Amino acid sequence: MTTFRRLLPLTFFSILALIAFWPSVPSFLQETNFYFASKPQIRSVISQQNEIIEPLIEEQAELPNPPSINWETKTTEQCIKCHDGIEVISDSHPAEIGCVICHGGNENSQIKKDAHSTLIYDPDWGTGKKNPSHIKIADKSCGQNACHYSSYFPDQNHVSRLKKSLMGTLAGVISGLRYQWAAQVPKTARYGVYPVENTDFQNTGIPFLEPLPFFSKTDWIRNALKNKSALKKGKLSRHIADDLLRKTCFQCHLDSPPPPGIFRGQGCAACHMPYAKNGLYSGNDQTIDKTQTGHAAKHKFEALPPNSTCITCHRAFANEKRLPTTNHSGSEKNVHFENNLFPGLGLPLQDLHFEKGMDCIDCHTSNDIMGDGNIYSKQHEAVEIRCQTCHGTYNTFPEVSEIIDPNDPAVIISKYYQDGQIQEGDILALSEREQTLSNVKMVDNKLSVIGKRTGKIFPIPMIHKSKNSHAIKAHQDKLECSACHSLWIPKCSGCHLTFDQKQEDINGNSWLKQNYQLSAEKPILMVGPRGKVAPMLAQPERHVSVFDKKGNPVPIINSQGDSVGNYLEKTFLNPEGYSGSHLAFSNFPHTVSSKARSCADCHMNPETLGLGAGKLIIGNNVSGKSDKMQYLNRISKLAENIDTPPDAYTTIKGQPVAGTTQKNTRPFNQEEISRILKVGNCIPCHEKPEDNIYDNMDKSYKFAGTNQHRQLRQKILKAR
Amino acid sequence: MKPSFFQKIILFSVSLILIVPFSLSFSGAQPFNYPYGSPFNLNKDYFKNKKSLLSERTAEPSKKETLNHSAINDKNFINQEKEISPKNNPSYNSQFFQEKRMTEIPDSPTVSDIDASNLRDPLLSVRGMDLNAEEVLSPGTTIDGIRFYSSDEIQSFVETEYRNSNFKIDDIYGRVVAYDKGQRCLTCHGGIEEISSNHRFSCTRCHGGNGRAYSKKSAHKKMVSNPSDLKHAPKYCGKCHADHINKVSNSSMATAKGQINLTRYNWGAQSLESPTFSLIPDGEKEEKLFPPEVPPEGQVELVDDFLQKKCLRCHIQSPSPHRPGEYRATGCASCHMIYANDGLSMTRDRAIQSKQREKVKKQNKPLSKKVAAKSFKNSRGYPILHKFSVAIPSSQCETCHHESGPGIEYEGLFKKPAREKPLSNSIDEDKPILFGSEHKFLIQDIHRERGMHCIDCHEGNELKNSKSTFPSKDLTVNPKCENCHGTHEKEPSEFLLVGSLNSAKQIIKKVSLNPNLKGKIKLGDLILRDDQGKLHSHIKKYKEQWILISKVTGKKHIIPILKDTKEPIAHSLKKHMSSIECAACHARWAYSEWGNHIILDNRPNLETWKNWSFSDPNLQQILFGKEKAFEPMPYINQDFNWLTATDSLNKISGRWQTGVWIELLSKASWDKMILGKNSKGKYSIFKPKKQYFISEISSQGEIIKSAEIPLLPDGNSGLIMTPYTPHTIRKIARSCESCHSNPETLGLGDPKLKTIPEAPSFFNGLTNKTPLPINFQLWQTVDSNGASLQSVWPLGARLLNSNDLSLIQEKNDKYRANRYLALRERGFPKLLSRDSFPFDIKHEANNKLYGNPIDNESSLMEETTQKDLDLIMQIIKKQEFISTSETLEGSTPQTIDSETSFFETQSQNPELSLDDVIPSLPDQNSQDSTSNSATSLKENVLPQNGWQSLSEEKTIEFLPPQNSP
């Protein structure tokens, strides 16, 4: 009661105030999102920041609304008069529907300029070739008429899914670099290549992404003049990471032009329009110059992209024939010895699945690749398949479900497959997110993968109750499969990024070309984002140099305006306080082999634990205080008087050295290092993983101290 | 002629007009704008200067000045208040101007140069706004228990490391006596050191010349600057030291017999039976001089060409390139005259001092790449002092022995192979380099770390050994570990120096020459006598301890004797002790050069190799030297013949011959230590000796050979492995697994790569000259059946066979037991008792203490204003305006895209661009427009400083490739 009395005047005044300011309340509530409680509060933020000013130049046409198109009566397109002989794009987009519905343009004109005046394409990326499937404008072409956008079936919304996928937003790359170089504090993604918002936000993933801020005003002006169609205010971060991202990393974005010498499309076409290796057109359209590079091989969609399409971008991890030794331009110049400038370097072993004849898309579902409608900040969040999805675990078989609905997405998508169309009653495997895998089904009572492009049947070996180290309980709980089964991982040692304004190119890109040397290394292990031990993609020693036009290193100026060093070979520090130039990234190397690495490889080898090359010295002190590593590499000892060399990711005392950009990911700590090495004591005698001492390690350690074990050990020792 | 009063007035007024604006602008005062235009009737250059001044100021801010970035940015960005009077601009006279006048003309919208004000301190979000950045950046700073390092200052540390030779002048020379008498030679050379206490002669007795002359020219007539050069040595040194001269002339360091004959054998040019070649032939054995004669021009055998141009740089008679690390003399002096890495002398000789002063002036960074690249044109180095020494430090040996082996390993240097590097020149040119290349720093040999030098193990007579290395089985140098360390059964054997013995007298005499041993070894001492009966004068037994007195530093090192130490598990195995070389386990790393692809290019387009970090002096000279003699740059096709080299004060001269050799290593590794059996039948580490891949391009540019492996005379492959002792010895040996369960060590190849399953088919492929199988890895030496894939040198050594493979890989109970014991020795069982992990707890506590970093990103961001946006709109509108006005004039009716047309107009009417300072952006859409010309591209650079861009308009021309020089 007393509280009520105390609150009474307050309530009174607030009611008074409410009445007084009534007209402004709804808008106030709206701004602070009390009003639409059900909607997340992002919408207003976005609209404020990206206040779009009317485009100055009409670059693309607004398509007529769906009801006005009646393609059964629409037969008088003039396009074909010039584009005689052009291929029909696909069976599901027959010639009858015409060109204009997808491409825009004036169908009644035969004058090129006039007919092309209202074509749909994205002028911002400037990749040309009037491609209507650019992500930004795909909703006007591919997405119109509820075809691939706002469809009744949610998984048919390809355009909106793709827009939010990682290949579209590049959120992982952006957040990774920005975090490591201390441009942003959280590890979660904040920025994308373009602004995007998840309207059907379901608490998985991130609600929205802002556009990447510009590095400098110069950069913003450049961009504004280039992308006149969407002139808007920009944020300036003045952080060098944003320039690097925009000028170099965006090259791998779905919408961007490919690097010189490599040919691919943009948007949907990046995957679904195969390009010839030389980038030449080989179809029958008379208007397309067959000597000019940059055209798709044919005006034809391919529902199931081949591996070569994926590898155009995902090169480093693909099973390339040979590890690249110099950069692309380097080998081009030395045409004479293109393949044997450095002879005898060998050929890395291929992934088992690849060797057997499986394609990228046989494992990776459409949800994996095109996104599932959520915005994610890291790749591992987006991918829905795991090894156990198909192979099961030691204790369980893979999850499966029966198809009941004839309109199930799996049934629809499987009509493009070479063989193995899904029918009602088929039993399919389920992914981590309970989605059916349309090509993993029971064939003759055996779960098998059916090659989407080949129709080949691959029976899946199950690891249920298999012997080997799968039976070890600790391994089941704490290891990703790839920790043991990945043979190698590419390592790029010592990137040196140089921003030299003397050598600025015509696009305003001052970042010099990188020469990298990749080598196949045994994976180092770390704790992955799912809390399990996973291989590490190690990228040590990355330096940045920034020079002005005269070639002098640019000074670093702090907020007080004082000079505090310069950008001659700068290394960074991430917000956690670990090295930002020294990345430990948990990764799944696609170099799987049926043969796992040996027990000693992890349990007796400090290098695998991320301690660096050198010799481990275990001290007498119980706390581990006197443990140390005698490192092979002594550069940092000499140059900076620091004990840890560039190839160490953590110290023997469990202090991380390298930074990580994924959440919950870290190199091993002291406890883990000592727990892993502890097992090394048993390995000399109990070398087989099936040995039942590994069932319960605590019990075994206790037994190891007993007299009985000592006697057993003595017996063996006597034999020497 | 005196200027008249009238002229003076004119001069004064003109100078006033000229000087005042500049003096104002450079006075450092805060820049300001005149709201109604300039009172001095300035043109735009004034503002340009002001801007450049601003950017200068921001680039080098003083500590006291606090810069307001946003203000500067705004001013740099736009001076909107200013309106430029059209009268000042000549271009406004055109008719076009009449229409143009209506529009407001914006100033240059951009600063194209990114300077400090455009960059944020990268650590702001880490340290917050208040903390001093220096605290974060300085090495050794701890954040959350983690040490952070900045590599900004690596360079100076590394240079100190290169410079540091780790010896003292006193130790090496003993007492230094300087001549300062009034003799003739010393008039100029006053202050020069006495060469040694045993050589108290007049200068002319050793150097020749005329000691009584008055001028430099006549005094130096017939003078020999280095009398110990083997050409002159018999005449001068040989008077007393004939036996030594004889020995040296026959040693492989002078004759280069090993190099010449083995390489020729490797390339199939000579067999084991054929007579051998030598640079200094020994008449009795009828050895040939190499080469029989140097042909003036024309064809030599490929291998001889290679030897002359590359390998034969490294014998004591050839002058070495004048570059960091390699300054040395020839003949006896190449060892006994000590040079510093930077070739700078400490002599008090006034003549030398004055010469050197010039050099120091020219090269302010004597170890930089810039200096190293001019190894033919640099003046030669001078020895540290004009003194002979027998206390020769390691750095002196490494002037030659840095190539592919022990020298750099011993120092802990790992030579980086030649690779393409697009580093900015400003970083690259100043990088400290030694022997022509950059190095990584790895762990040193324990003997080096303790302060021992090469000659403490390798003794003089051994180095002057005249034994032939071809085709004999023996190695010339062969100190053994057990000579000093003994075995677990036996101590090293001792020898009592008794005065009556001749050998003892010799030892005492020898000892007296070395300032570090003199007086420390006396008659009655017990010294070391090795298993071959050789006496080691600097190792003695004293109070039950074996002590090595370093010949270079005089420091006493107590030798750990195996018999006194507890026998480690690995040593307790008899097989280990009897059949493995110590270094096979105790070597920490081995510098191995895998696959040497050598390309003889008779018409090299050196543009393609421009960014490669070659260590070869000739290539460096051509690629980085920028010498006029080597122009025209892109097509120099001459390489230096080292056999004809003569060294003069300022250059190395000799014959240049057609055809440049380019050497590329496939891989340089430190972690691959492959086992084989040496000629003594012991397991030893093998390294690639010669893995040549030969390519040849004719002067017409045709490929004659493409990465061919040479074949030995017996038809085997020319990929040669050789047993070898890595000079990276440490106490902690390699782990049991690294041999017993590591296929790579056994030569079976890297398990991550594909391997050659069967050796015979591989060999067939090689002999048929088909290209090397793509799945061949250079470090696979045997197949799984134990058949070898590569050849071995010397004869008698071999790679592992099937027997060895199964023996090493077999794991029986004995192995298990020993493996366990070895682990116990290394302290692994100690881990079992660990149950608390205090460092993890500390780490978590720190995390809590520091909390999450503050997310202050939004406060660090800046936003563009409406003003900026309006400006862009103006530019775009104007752009359109120009294009439309152009069409109105009718000069170019077919303007299609707004931007393309803008550029066209700009290039046609350069006056127009004065008004439109617009960042030029190439329209990528224009890929399909035909306006793009392929041969030349007008580069429309962002206007650097407003109007300047017009005058500096660059054209990049893509020249069609030229075919012949």
The pLDDT tens digits of the residues spanning A400-430 come to 999 988 888 888 888 889 887 888 889 999 9
pLDDT band at B60 (very low <50, low <70, confident <90, very high): very low
pLDDT band at A15 (very low <50, low <70, confident <90, very high): low
Nearest 5°: CA angle at B567, between B564 and B573? 140
The pLDDT tens digits of the residues spanning B753-806 come to 889 888 888 777 776 666 677 788 899 999 999 998 899 988 889 999 999 999
- Nearest CA-CA distance, residue A492 and chain B, Å: 14
Q: Average pLDDT of A239-246?
A: 91
Q: Is the pLDDT of residue A535 over 90?
A: yes
The pLDDT tens digits of the residues spanning B504-555 come to 988 898 888 888 898 888 888 999 998 888 889 899 999 889 999 999 999 9
Single-letter code of the amino acid located at A626: S
- Joined tokens for residue B223: 């003078």
Higher-scoring residue by pLDDT: B445, B88: B445
Confidence (pLDDT) at A67: 38
State chain B's mean pLDDT as an integer.
75
Residues in A closer than 8 angstroms to B877, CB to CB, are: 56
Confidence (pLDDT) at A452: 93
Q: Is the pLDDT of residue B54 over 60?
A: no
pLDDT band at A459 (very low <50, low <70, confident <90, very high): very high
Confidence (pLDDT) at A314: 78
pLDDT band at A72 (very low <50, low <70, confident <90, very high): low
* Record: contact A337-B695, CB cut-off 8 A: yes
Higher-scoring residue by pLDDT: B302, A201: B302
Tell me, what DSSP letter sits at residue B178?
A: B
pLDDT band at B915 (very low <50, low <70, confident <90, very high): very low
Confidence (pLDDT) at A142: 84
Confidence (pLDDT) at B643: 86
Helix (H, G, I), strand (E, B) or coil at A354: helix
Q: Average pLDDT of A572-582?
A: 83
Looking at A49-63, A640-654, B612-626, B639-653, which range is the least confident one?
Answer: A49-63
Q: Is the pLDDT of residue B162 over 60?
A: yes
Confidence (pLDDT) at B838: 92
The pLDDT tens digits of the residues spanning B715-747 come to 888 899 999 899 999 999 999 999 999 999 999
Q: Is B574 on the interface with A (CB under 8 A)?
A: no
Q: Is the pLDDT of residue B1 over 70?
A: no
Q: Is A354 on the interface with B (CB under 8 A)?
A: no
Q: Average pLDDT of B290-295?
A: 61
- Nearest-angstrom CA–CA distance, B384 and B371: 19
Confidence (pLDDT) at B897: 39
Which residues, in sequence order, are CB contacts of B130 under 8 Å at separation 6+? none
Q: Which of A323-332, A534-543, B424-433, B833-842 has the highest mean pLDDT?
A: B833-842
- Nearest-angstrom CA–CA distance, A329 and A318: 20
pLDDT band at A336 (very low <50, low <70, confident <90, very high): very low
Q: Is the pLDDT of residue B98 over 70?
A: no
Q: Is the pLDDT of residue B808 over 90?
A: yes
Q: Is the pLDDT of residue B469 over 80?
A: no
Q: Average pLDDT of A67-77?
A: 56
CA distances from B313 to A325, A458, B195, B259, B926 (A): 30, 62, 28, 11, 55
Name the nearest CA neighbour of A175 among A209, A135, A216. A209
- Nearest CA-CA distance, residue A542 and chain B, Å: 10
- Nearest-angstrom CA–CA distance, A195 and B202: 88
Largest Cα–Cα distance in chain B? 116
- Nearest-angstrom CA–CA distance, B672 and B666: 14
Find the helix packing angle between A707-718 and A697-704, rounded to 10°.
70
Q: Average pLDDT of A558-564?
A: 77
Largest Cα–Cα distance in chain A? 97
Q: Average pLDDT of B452-472?
A: 78
Do B514 and B390 form a contact (C-beta atoms < 8 A)?
yes
- Nearest-angstrom CA–CA distance, A249 and A180: 15
Q: Average pLDDT of A477-500?
A: 86
Residue A567's closest chain B neighbor by CA? B152
Residues in B closer than 8 angstroms to A515, CB to CB, are: 419-422, 611
Confidence (pLDDT) at A449: 94
Confidence (pLDDT) at B360: 81
Q: Is A600 on the interface with B (CB under 8 A)?
A: yes
Confidence (pLDDT) at B10: 55
pLDDT band at A509 (very low <50, low <70, confident <90, very high): confident
- Joined tokens for residue B548: 């090595």
CA distances from B805 to A343, B329, B787 (A): 27, 48, 11
pLDDT band at B888 (very low <50, low <70, confident <90, very high): very low
* Record: contact A322-B774, CB cut-off 8 A: yes
Confidence (pLDDT) at B297: 53
Q: Residue B752: which of A349, A508, A571 has the nearest Cβ? A: A349
Name the nearest CA neighbour of A520 among A485, A490, A482, A494. A490
Do A667 and B167 form a contact (C-beta atoms < 8 A)?
no
Residue A322's closest chain B neighbor by CA? B774
* Record: contact B942-A496, CB cut-off 8 A: no
Higher-scoring residue by pLDDT: B580, A646: B580
pLDDT band at B7 (very low <50, low <70, confident <90, very high): low
Q: Is B419 on the interface with A (CB under 8 A)?
A: yes
Helix (H, G, I), strand (E, B) or coil at A368: helix
Q: Average pLDDT of B415-429?
A: 76
pLDDT band at B906 (very low <50, low <70, confident <90, very high): very low
The pLDDT tens digits of the residues spanning B103-112 come to 333 334 445 6
Q: Average pLDDT of A324-348?
A: 51
Residue identified by tokens 């960091």 is: B324
Helix (H, G, I), strand (E, B) or coil at B442: strand
Do B254 and B315 form a contact (C-beta atoms < 8 A)?
yes
Q: Residue A560: which of B66, B77, B771 has the nearest Cβ? A: B66
Q: Which of A3-7, A214-218, B666-670 has the highest mean pLDDT?
A: B666-670
pLDDT band at B298 (very low <50, low <70, confident <90, very high): low
- Joined tokens for residue A675: 């727990």
The pLDDT tens digits of the residues spanning B227-272 come to 999 888 988 888 888 988 888 888 888 888 888 888 988 888 888 8
The pLDDT tens digits of the residues spanning B764-779 come to 777 666 667 778 889 9
Residues 546-585 of A with CB under 8 A from B: 546-549, 551-579
pLDDT band at B880 (very low <50, low <70, confident <90, very high): low
* Record: contact A184-B823, CB cut-off 8 A: no
Looking at A542-546, B685-689, B695-699, B846-850, which range is the least confident one?
Answer: B846-850
Q: Is the pLDDT of residue B840 over 50?
A: yes
The pLDDT tens digits of the residues spanning B639-690 come to 888 888 888 888 888 888 888 899 989 889 999 999 999 988 999 999 998 8
Number of H helices, E strands in chain A: 27, 21
Higher-scoring residue by pLDDT: B914, B220: B220
Q: Is the pLDDT of residue B6 over 80?
A: no
10 Å Cβ neighbour count for A631? Answer: 22
Residue A593's closest chain B neighbor by CA? B752
Confidence (pLDDT) at B65: 35
Nearest 5°: CA angle at B375, between B370 and B379? 100
Residues in B closer than 8 angstroms to A599, CB to CB, are: none
Higher-scoring residue by pLDDT: A225, B355: B355
Confidence (pLDDT) at A134: 86
pLDDT band at A11 (very low <50, low <70, confident <90, very high): low
Provide the percentage of residues in chain B whose pLDDT is more than 90: 19
Confidence (pLDDT) at B779: 92
Higher-scoring residue by pLDDT: B454, B935: B454
- Nearest-angstrom CA–CA distance, B645 and B310: 12
- Nearest-angstrom CA–CA distance, B593 and A218: 48
Name the nearest CA neighbour of A293 among A303, A278, A308. A278
Name the nearest CA neighbour of B412 among A638, A565, A50. A638
Q: Is the pLDDT of residue B11 over 80?
A: no
* Record: contact A615-B730, CB cut-off 8 A: yes
Do A450 and A417 form a contact (C-beta atoms < 8 A)?
yes
Q: Is the pLDDT of residue B303 over 50?
A: yes
Confidence (pLDDT) at B102: 31
Confidence (pLDDT) at A70: 55
Confidence (pLDDT) at B415: 92
Confidence (pLDDT) at A339: 53
Confidence (pLDDT) at B748: 94
